[in-house]
Structure 1
Amino acid sequence: MIVERAYAHVAEDELGPGGGPVWPWSVPCVRQLLDDGLRFTAPVTFLVGENGSGKSTLVEALAEAFGLDPWGGSAGHRYAGPREPSVLGGRMRFEATVAGRRMLRGPHTRRRGFFLRAETALDALGRERHTGRLSGTPDEMSHGEGFLMAFRERFLDPGLYVLDEPESALSFASCLELVGVLDDLSRTGAQIICATHSPLLTALPGAEIIEVGEHGMRSVEWHELELVEHWRRYLNDPKAYLRHIVG
């Protein structure tokens, strides 16, 4: 484990007119982060929630706070040029383990980890290749193959690995391979934080699942996830859903 708890404080001048919260402080999960912080109890943590729930906002801020390039890529390297931290990322702080404190207090080159951000992954992986940190050229392979190359070659050392919807480019079989990569990586002392919509990934044994939504954040079991129940029902009887959508 690298990080035990994440927290942030909002400055008074960042509140909206009349003292009311503005984005991102208006997002329920961010408000809970301000009040209680976000505790991590397992080497692998999944953040699950609907689009717009704030899970991507959280993972990007966590990556920034650790010193990972918000554009994506390996710890200790900047690829996208100068970029101001997001409002939340600039105020995020960590309660770290001994290993985490050594990384956070030292130079950026001492930090280990990777940020895989679905929207900018191909550009970030191309820059990884340009600097010799990947064996292949992402532009010459499929989106999913590029992701898998990064998982195999850059997800190796103990550090903080932040993923935002990595399943977006992966087949069922490739998602299973990613589960194996995450499990192996977690056993090295690394910590993984992943925002996802995948019932396959979240089934990783021993992982903590945090459901993000209007309620804020809460820890749940895999079988309690709404997305798991919806997929189970859909695969059992697609027409029960599709009759409301098509025809």
Structure 2
Amino acid sequence: MDSISVKQYIRYIELDRERVPSFSEYPFNLPAIKSLQRLSFHPQVTFIVGENGSGKSTILESIAVAYGFNAEGGTKNFNFTSKATHSGLNNYIKVVKGTQRPRDGFFLRAESFYNFASNIDDLDSESGGPSIINSYGGISLHEQSHGESFFALFQNRFGGKGIYILDEPEAALSPTRQMSMLSIMHDLVGEGSQFIIATHSPIIMAYPQAWIYEIKEGIETVKYEDTEHYQVTRAFINNPKKMLRVLLE
């Protein structure tokens, strides 16, 4: 994975381990960060997967903030904050960029998407100019279901030649919508976009040719079929009665 294009928007990140105060303190005690030195990214799509609490969202957030995005999500033009909860890992992360600059970019953080939608409504109510919501389909994200608002973002706001950092985008999407998201992603990749995604979804992480990092004791590259998410989901679907018997007895 060392032969990566210098034309991509984010080539890799490095943790300045010498500046880390202690690897026994949060967030440096997380499995994903304890062993982190350099993490390279595919020019098109990279996935970071792992159990809850493994540190994948913390790493994704640090990349986004170090790159210049708001910690609670949005484009680089958003600077709202409802509660300062980000880890500060971004202060110890170096983001190494490629030679090209993106034309577009967005950080989606599922857990704070409500706050992001509220900020758009607040800004539009105060502005006398063009409505920001027009870039998201023209309908307030709060006037749609959670899944519809997520999908409106993918359909209307994302453009070509963009860097998109997505934290659990499947959180509000049905399986059918997740497959539709793959189609949108593919079109955007064809237009020169790069995605870095933390996900639990075996559907989304099936995107072809993507790099997948799985967090266990450390961070390691894995094939799609070797991820725990794929294997557990496959085992359940292939024999739900047996799995339920084991789980419920």
Tell me, yes or no, whether TM beats 0.5.
yes
| Residue in structure 2 matched with residue 243 of structure 1 by the alignment | 245
Mean CA deviation greater in 73-82 or 153-162: 73-82
Shift of 1:64: 0.5
The equivalent residue for 2:225 is 223
In structure 2, the residue matched to 1:108 is none
CA distance in 2, matches of 1:39, 1:200: 23
Cα drift, residue 13 of structure 1: 7.0
Asked if structure 1 preserves the Cα contact closer than 8 Å seen for 2:66 and 2:94, the reply is: yes
Is 1:112 the counterpart of 2:99 in the alignment? Answer: no
Please say if 1:155 is aligned against 2:134.
Answer: no
Output the amino acid matched with 1:153: N
Q: CA RMSD in A?
A: 2.1
Cα 1:10–1:179 shift into 2, 3 Å:
same
Q: Give the CA deviation at 1:245.
A: 2.6
1:173 to 173, 176, 188: 176
Residue 81 of structure 1: how far off its partner (Å): 6.8
Q: How many residues align?
A: 231
Q: Tell me the alpha carbon deviations over residues 43-94 of structure 1, each in whole angstroms, 9 at most, x when there is no partner.
A: 1111111111110111111110111111111223212279596321122111
CA distance in 1, matches of 2:224, 2:245: 28
TM-score (ref. length: structure 1): 0.86
Q: Structure 1 stretch 65-74 or stretch 123-132: which is displaced more?
A: 123-132
CA distance in 2, matches of 1:52, 1:32: 15
Indicate whether 1:136 and 2:143 are aligned: no
Distance in 2 (alpha carbons) for counterparts of 1:79 and 1:187: 32
Distance 1:245 1:84, change over 3 A: closer
Cα offset for 1:168?
A: 1.0
Query: What residue in structure 1 maps to residue 14 of structure 2?
Result: 7
- Extract unaligned runs of 5+ from structure 2: 1-7, 125-131
Aligned counterparts of 1:84 and 1:174: Cα–Cα separation in 2? 29
Moved over 3 A (4+): 10-13, 81-86, 128-131
The aligned amino acid for 1:76 is: N
CA contact (8 A) 1:47 1:194 kept: yes
SS at match of 1:243: helix
Kindly tell me: are residues 84 and 28 of structure 1, through their superposed partners in 2, closer, same or farther at Cα, counting changes over 3 Å? closer
SS of structure 1 residue aligned to 2:42: coil
Match of 1:76 in 2: 77
Distance 1:84 1:146, change over 3 A: closer
Residue in 2 that maps onto 1:124: 116
Q: Distance in 2 between matches of 1:14 and 1:2?
A: 30
Deviation at 1:139, TM superposition (A): 1.3
Matched position secondary structure for 2:119:
helix
Tell me the secondary structure at the aligned position of residue 248 of structure 2. Answer: coil
Kindly indicate whether the alpha-carbon contact (under 8 Å) linking 1:122 and 1:146 is maintained by their aligned counterparts in 2. Answer: no
Partner Cα separation in structure 1 for residue 20 and residue 221 of structure 2: 32
Task: Tell me the alpha carbon deviations over residues 108-158 of structure 1, each in whole angstroms, 9 at most, x when there is no partner.
Answer: xxx731111111112213323544142211111100000001111221142
Supply the distance in 2 between the matched residues of 1:158 and 1:125 (Cα, whole angstroms). 24
Q: Secondary structure at the match of 1:98?
A: coil
Asked whether the equivalents of residues 44 and 208 of structure 1 are also in contact (C-alpha less than 8 Å), the reply is yes
In 1, the alpha carbon distance for the partners of 2:82 and 2:150 equals: 22
User: Percent identity at matched positions?
Assistant: 34
Deviation of residue 11 (structure 1)? 5.3
Q: Structure 2 length as normaliser, TM-score?
A: 0.85
Aligned to 1:54: 55
Structure 1, unaligned runs of 5 or more: 104-110
Measured in 1, the distance between the counterparts of 2:20 and 2:94 equals 19
Q: Secondary structure at the match of 1:179?
A: helix
Partner amino acid for 1:241? Answer: M
